[in-house]
Amino acid sequence: MKSWLKGLVYGDDIVGALVIFLALLILFFGLMTPHFWSSNNFYAIIGNIPAMAIVCLGLMYVVLIGDLDLSLGSILGFTAILAVFFFKVMHFPLWLNLISCVFVGGLFGALNGVIVTKIGINSIITTLGTMAIIRGLAFWIATDVDAMQIGRITDPSFLNFARYYFPAESRLIPITLVYIAILYGASFLFLNHTSFGRKIYAVGANEATARLAGINVKRVKLVCYIIAGMLSAFGGLVLVAQLGLGEAQTGQNMILEVVTAVVLGGVLLTGGKGRLTGVLVAVLILGVIRNGMVHLEQVTDISFYWRDVAKGVILLLAIGLYSVRKSFNAKRLRTRQ
Amino acid sequence: MKVIGTKITTNTSLFLFLGFLVILFSFTSEHFLSPYNITSLLTNISYSGIAAIVLTLVMISRGLDISIGGVIGLTTVVVSALYSQSDPLPIWLILTIGLGVGAVVGLINGWCITVLDMDPIITTLGAMAITRGLAYVISDSQSILMFEETTDFISNGVIFNVPIPILLFMLTALIFSIVLHKSKFGRSIYAIGANEVSASLSGISVNKTKMILYVLTGIAASVSGIILLGQTSVGMPQHGIGAELEVITAVLLGGTALSGGKGTIYGTIAGVLILGVLFNGLTISGVRYVHLQIFQGLLLLVAVATYEIKTRNEVAR
């Protein structure tokens, strides 16, 4: 094998490989379908990923400490219902709605974090439980409050939260892109350039060592869960404003795609390693596949539903490649010694 | 607390809790103890119970399979799609192919987890997406009606007044409790769950054992799918959504530890019964579905928290 190819497959940095994969996908769909390469479709793809990108960022914090949070999709769904409730029943202005929803998301995150750190239950089982509980709460509100029967919002002052463009006339940059840039940029600074951010990596890499080094492991973990909950709530608000609709089912099958993106982006499930750029490119890859499959169904007989299969296969490939790399690197270390 | 914890074993306390629930619901609803309700309760739990029994073995070996729901959906779609062809294959062959669906998925899961050393949760999460996606592709997101004598008999038939799903559940429980508690194979499952390296060093073929367990789980999920197909007379890709949560909750409730090496079939049976009685009792007492979902999540957390705290106390002692 060529050395650069080896570097791509076995190297520590997989962002390069992901970018090449993304480029190949764009090339493939562009050549196969007539309308894929167009500015309209570009905005369609960009318009489809904000909620995903934001929730993925949230999950990344939890995966960095070596845990997994399956309840984020439910938190997003609950927020969708809550935003409509605050808007229609409580008549909150947008800023108050935003603060309240993100606060509630943070509370759910704190609940997960407390159960995991204080009681010591495995994070996957904890969040499998809270996933059901939070989704149940969302359905409860959605079915029991009369004003919620139709979760539609048409007030532009609310919808502009995710439908605004900079500059307003030429519609060049959607505001959701600005949110993504701000959140990822802030996370970059937080994770790489603050001592608390470095502690997150330290806890994920080796909990025992981190504890011996004087880091309050439980607090670091709790904060990560809270951040994840708050980001998911924010993603939920963006989604409601984009769709003009908040339902209890919102984000029901989302978590699988979110986990896929984070894993594909090269964040180690055992914690302590992962880069924001990788996650962002992985989100784009999944977004392009989702969009491209619709185009492909137009020109060929290939069912749109293959995208679910593709998602699972990509998840397995990403994890499989990681396993192969791990055993390769272990072998390389042994031969050196 | 300490006295209770030492004198009463986990299984006894589970059955005591079950008895408490039965007495409670017989007061809240007059229909709860009627023969009809008891039969329908038991029939309903056998569908997830069969998968739970086999998953217990996987979880004792420190694995997990969350593709169960996806396999159930895919099996119903494959069987009903094959039957709805203009010139269908004989039904025994169709049902065998249906069971083969689960076996193949289990084989792929097992191969990824053992040979490639992949994380079981993520592997089966991927398998869940693939199976569910394939079910949507094959059925084109439609429901496929299937009225057929054999599947109807499997799901709705009775032998000596006992519905066949219950018999299948009891048979599965019996076979696997013998396998797990009385055979060498069963002991090796406990050994693998307690410590994989030492199990391998003492001559147990770890990969082969795990592979067999995942294949068996896949087949059990397919059996559940076929029962569900017969009960509803329709194959659709949405079948079995959320089944994995129900099954995993039942197994954990039954005292199987997530960290492996611990668990019994009796415990799982108790877990399945408790879940079934709780949902049936709450529904018949007028509690709505949205609230049931909340109860299910709470029950999972409380069950695991109880064991976690108990283990910690034991370690502290």
Closest Cα in chain A, distance from residue B312 (Å): 10
Dihedral sign for Cα A79, A85, A90, A91, please. Answer: positive
| CA separation for the pair A241, A162 (Å, rounded) | 5
Closest residue in B to A263 (Cα–Cα): B122
Q: What angle do CA A119, A121, A126 make, to 5 degrees?
A: 115
Chain B residues touching residue A134 (CB < 8 angstroms): 297
For A308, the closest of B136, B258, B308 (CB atoms) is B136
Q: Does position A183 have pLDDT exceeding 90, yes or no?
A: yes
Read off the pTM: 0.84
Is B2 within the bounds of a domain?
no
Is B1 within the bounds of a domain?
no
Is B57 within the bounds of a domain?
yes
Is B75 within the bounds of a domain?
yes
Q: Which of A108, A115, A117, A125 to mutate to test the interface with B (most CBs of B within 10 A)?
A: A125
Kind and range of the H or E run holding B235: strand B234-235
Closest residue in B to A112 (Cα–Cα): B301
| CA separation for the pair A137, A158 (Å, rounded) | 24
Q: Does position A70 have pLDDT exceeding 60, yes or no?
A: yes
Neighbours of B240 (CB within 10 A): 29
Closest Cα in chain B, distance from residue A197 (Å): 26
Which residues, numbered 101 to 130 in chain A, qualify as contacts with chain B under a Cβ-Cβ cut-off of 8 Å? 115, 119-122, 124-126, 128-130
Closest residue in A to B237 (Cα–Cα): A305
Q: Domain limits at B223?
A: 8-316
For A323, the closest of B116, B126, B292 (CB atoms) is B116
Closest Cα in chain B, distance from residue A306 (Å): 6
Mean pLDDT per 10-residue segment, chain B (317 residues): 48 83 86 86 89 94 90 94 85 92 95 88 88 90 82 82 89 93 91 88 90 95 92 88 85 84 89 89 82 84 81 75
Write the CB contacts of A221 (distance below 8 Å, at least 6 apart in sequence).
A65, A67, A113, A116, A117, A203
Kind and range of the H or E run holding A173: strand A173-174
Across all residues in chain A, what is the average pLDDT?
86
Q: Which among A264, A247, A257 has a CA at the least distance from the CA of A311?
A: A257
Count of domains in chain B?
1
Chain B residues touching residue A132 (CB < 8 angstroms): 245, 293-294, 296-297, 300
The distance from CA A296 to its chain's CA centroid, rounded to whole angstroms, is: 25
Chain B residues touching residue A135 (CB < 8 angstroms): 293
For A136, the closest of B116, B290, B312 (CB atoms) is B290
Closest Cα in chain A, distance from residue B12 (Å): 23
| CA separation for the pair A226, B314 (Å, rounded) | 31
Chain B residues touching residue A323 (CB < 8 angstroms): 116-118
For B297, the closest of A129, A306, A308 (CB atoms) is A129
For A130, the closest of B112, B117, B297 (CB atoms) is B297
Residue B181 contacts A where some CB pair is shorter than 8 Å: no
Closest residue in A to B113 (Cα–Cα): A320
Q: Does position A315 have pLDDT exceeding 60, yes or no?
A: yes
This complex has an ipTM of 0.78
Is B118 within the bounds of a domain?
yes
Chain B residues touching residue A133 (CB < 8 angstroms): 293-294, 297-298, 301
The confidence score (pLDDT) of residue B2 equals: 43
The confidence score (pLDDT) of residue B174 equals: 94
Q: In this structure, what CATH number is given to the domain that contains residue B252?
A: 1.10.3470
| CA separation for the pair A218, A308 (Å, rounded) | 36
Task: Summarize pLDDT for A111-166 with one digit per residue, the tens.
Answer: 999 999 998 888 888 998 899 899 999 988 888 777 676 677 777 778 888 887 77
3-state secondary structure B248-301: HHHHHHCCCCCCCCCCCHHHHHHHHHHHHHHHHHHHHCCCCHHHHHHHHHHHHH
Residue B316 contacts A where some CB pair is shorter than 8 Å: no
Please give the interface size between A and B, counted as residue pairs whose CB atoms are below 8 Å apart: 130
Closest Cα in chain A, distance from residue B94 (Å): 23
Chain A residues touching residue B248 (CB < 8 angstroms): 125, 128
Q: Does position A8 have pLDDT exceeding 70, yes or no?
A: no
Task: Summarize pLDDT for A224-236 with one digit per residue, the tens.
Answer: 999 999 999 999 9
Closest Cα in chain A, distance from residue B59 (Å): 13
Cis peptide upstream of residue A167 (ω within 30 degrees of 0): yes
Closest Cα in chain B, distance from residue A59 (Å): 14
Inter-chain contact A132–B300, Cβ cutoff 8 Å? yes
Residue A146 and residue B300 in contact, taking contact as beta carbons nearer than 8 Å:
no
Among A3-17, A57-71, A248-262, B115-129, whose mean pLDDT is lowest?
Answer: A3-17
Is B178 within the bounds of a domain?
yes
Write the CB contacts of B5 (distance below 8 Å, at least 6 apart in sequence).
B310, B313
